[in-house]
Structure 1
């Protein structure tokens, strides 16, 4: 809960306070009005009394007893004024009560509109948001209720998320079209050339076309993995495993690939038990090794580490001596198909989705992916994994 939320009153409390103030104000105004009018009537009645009766009335108010004649005259005149005075007091009570209630109702409507004004702004903003403009935001009014402040913050967070999702969707659509255009163009040109007799239909030509098909297959499979992550169906089967054993098995299988890239492998695989999906863990580690083989081969060294953290989580760390990550590291895992420079192209065999998939696997395990540059050169990628039910 933010400090502003702590200071703001709940809507129920504020409503009760406003109702209580309006009731007290209405009763107070009615009391003051009736009291004033009663005093005004008493003064008029005193002026209408004969002098003897007026003197007797003054003596009675002072606690003294007037003479019998003056007292009898006072009683006779008061009996004549009682009925008229009571009617006037009752009528004044009714009129003043209605006026005070009307005035309190006007004040109450004003205060209610002040309280509900942010909700009206939220309604207008929601209409704009529904029309597709995700840049709309609502400013929180000072002195508003806790619930309305929370609703405004939630709405603004939702609008921000939708705006980012729209930007990512637009970028992804463009990126997918860009990634698919080249292999499809190569396939179409090659097959058309074969049909026209320009290219011979030999094994080399078919192998080249098959390579493009395999590239399309990798893109489709990576996109499927990301779609599973969006639908929270990426990790369906967890089992208790030791990350050191899983990573060691992947390293053994990928050693020929690393040897081809000229990377010398170093390991520090400490036991790290965690409940995780072994298939997805292997997929994440292999994606990191493939990235290192493509982009960090110039460093000539690759180090893999595993370990258990004090909070019970586990970590997989991959370090290289390559060129490292660029300044905009935030875009590396967030934007699918990201490539840091022109040299990181599809010609090197990647789809550009590797780190996005690794991040999706880490998040599916309740963890996260850390990307950083080493002080003495190279990149470091850390996968933090949490047991089922834990929060990173």
Structure 2
């Protein structure tokens, strides 16, 4: 029995396998994947473009601040008390960093805070400034006060003036741009997913209609009987002008052809059944005459030993042909759907009587019964149900060796049906024959070791009669155990 966890594992495996997804699911996912790729490409290009623009603006401002700081520098002889501090240059804005490096020492430096006051540099910041390249190209570095864009310019006096501007504004703007694009992209994905699902579902509706029609046709019993193949693809999904419409139109044409073929097959089957019924009915009279004259000759004439054997052979074959004709006539009546003579049938008593009759005919077999404590009643034709049991028991007798045990059981199944089983411990039925064992004239004499010949109609009659009673019959067989199980609707269970 399949457990819930097993179902969950199967469902999980199917979701992990793209080949099991619906086509509309794939289309929606492809559309969303394309949108993600487009949004990603647009975001990368936009971010790179804005970063370039901001860097240019910042480099221009940095160049101006560096020019002011370098213009403020003077030769040492001009300042007896010491070199000027670049931070004292005019026009330097808040956040600007300036430092003067003499050799490997930062002589002076700091940055201007938001209040216009000077903030000193830490020792770690000074080490970062000492490692700047002297190629007049701006570079980004992380300092204790944040990220800065710095440029180091060597002056004509031999020292180096470092100028830097904070990257906070640039980074804040770029972060806002990134989050804006992320939220817009997510919103677009949600809208595309919802709208795409609705649009694709409506677009794929004709394909679903084709699938529904094909599924309905696949479930119809087309193998026998009169079949009304009335299902068709609706006109909205069968316009030849579109791809899906062309498929729907072709499917309707195919169904029309199949319907015509089924009508021809039904007409042919009806003619064959009528012929079999008429032929069987017409054969009954001459067969009865043959049997009568044979019996009269046996009683009134004197024959030699060979003559008596020949006459007995004629009588035996006429009786066998009579049985075959009666079977064919019964199948013809069942095929025509003639009404049954329904009465309440005590299935338990019927089994006892039928097994007793068969026991007299085959005393060399071991006949056993497994019956319930109370009678089981079904609604059916007692004569035909007796023939069903007789055919099954006769089948077990004819196709098994003497000494075989045949067990006939009656029970009530869990769904309330009456079940009759006929089980023997014979050699079994080949697996390749079990699928066609109920077909008419199906015989596999090598399957079981009995010596009596059969017409191949017995099990066909069993299936037809049980089907007419609203029941079913099935067979399971392996060497050492063969079981035929009949299921019939149960009317009442009368407690003894």
Q: TM-score with structure 1 length normalisation?
A: 0.51
1:77-92 equivalent positions in 2, closer than 5 A = none
Name the residue aligned to 1:4: 212
Among 444, 455, 458, the alignment partner of 1:354 is: 458
Name the residue aligned to 1:268: 370
Tell me the CA shift for residue 360 of structure 1.
Answer: 1.4
How far apart are the structure 1 equivalents of 2:257 and 2:470? 28
1:247/1:380 CA distance change after superposition, 3 Å: same
Among 206, 224, 237, the alignment partner of 2:329 is: 224
8 Å CA contact 1:323–1:378 kept in 2: the answer is: yes
How far apart are the structure 2 equivalents of 1:274 and 1:358? 16
How far apart are the structure 2 equivalents of 1:281 and 1:145? 47
User: Does residue 1:288 correspond to 2:392, yes or no?
Assistant: yes
Q: How many residues align?
A: 258
1:54-93 equivalent positions in 2, closer than 5 A = none
Among 358, 362, 367, the alignment partner of 2:471 is: 367
1:289-368 equivalent positions in 2, closer than 5 A = 289-298=393-402, 300-326=404-430, 327-336=432-441, 338-341=442-445, 348-368=452-472
How far apart are the structure 2 equivalents of 1:378 and 1:279? 28
User: Does residue 1:386 correspond to 2:465, yes or no?
Assistant: no
User: Does residue 1:208 correspond to 2:298, yes or no?
Assistant: no
How far apart are the structure 1 equivalents of 2:413 and 2:469? 15
| 1:300-340 residue CA offsets vs partner (Å, 9 max, x unmatched) | 1101111223334322111111121122222221132x221
Comparing both structures, which one devotes a greater share of its residues to strand? 2
Name the residue aligned to 2:480: 377
Comparing both structures, which one devotes a greater share of its residues to helix? 1
8 Å CA contact 2:385–2:465 kept in 1: the answer is: yes
Tell me the CA shift for residue 343 of structure 1.
Answer: 8.5
How far apart are the structure 1 equivalents of 2:304 and 2:346? 52
Name the residue aligned to 2:358: 254
SS in structure 2 at match of 1:334: coil
| 1:27-72 residue CA offsets vs partner (Å, 9 max, x unmatched) | xxxxxxxxxxxxxxxxxxxxxxxxxxxxxxxxxxxxxxxxxxxxxx
8 Å CA contact 2:384–2:465 kept in 1: the answer is: yes
Tell me the CA shift for residue 269 of structure 1.
Answer: 2.0
SS in structure 2 at match of 1:357: helix
How far apart are the structure 2 equivalents of 1:163 and 1:258? 42
SS in structure 1 at match of 2:421: strand
Rg: which structure is higher? 2
| 1:343-387 residue CA offsets vs partner (Å, 9 max, x unmatched) | 97997253332111111111111222212204x623111222236
1:12-31 equivalent positions in 2, closer than 5 A = none
How far apart are the structure 2 equivalents of 1:325 and 1:295? 10
1:147/1:311 CA distance change after superposition, 3 Å: farther
After alignment, is 156-165 or 292-301 more displaced? Answer: 156-165
SS in structure 1 at match of 2:423: strand
How far apart are the structure 2 equivalents of 1:348 and 1:165? 32
8 Å CA contact 2:443–2:456 kept in 1: the answer is: yes
For structure 1, the 5+ residue unaligned runs are 19-109, 116-140, 170-196
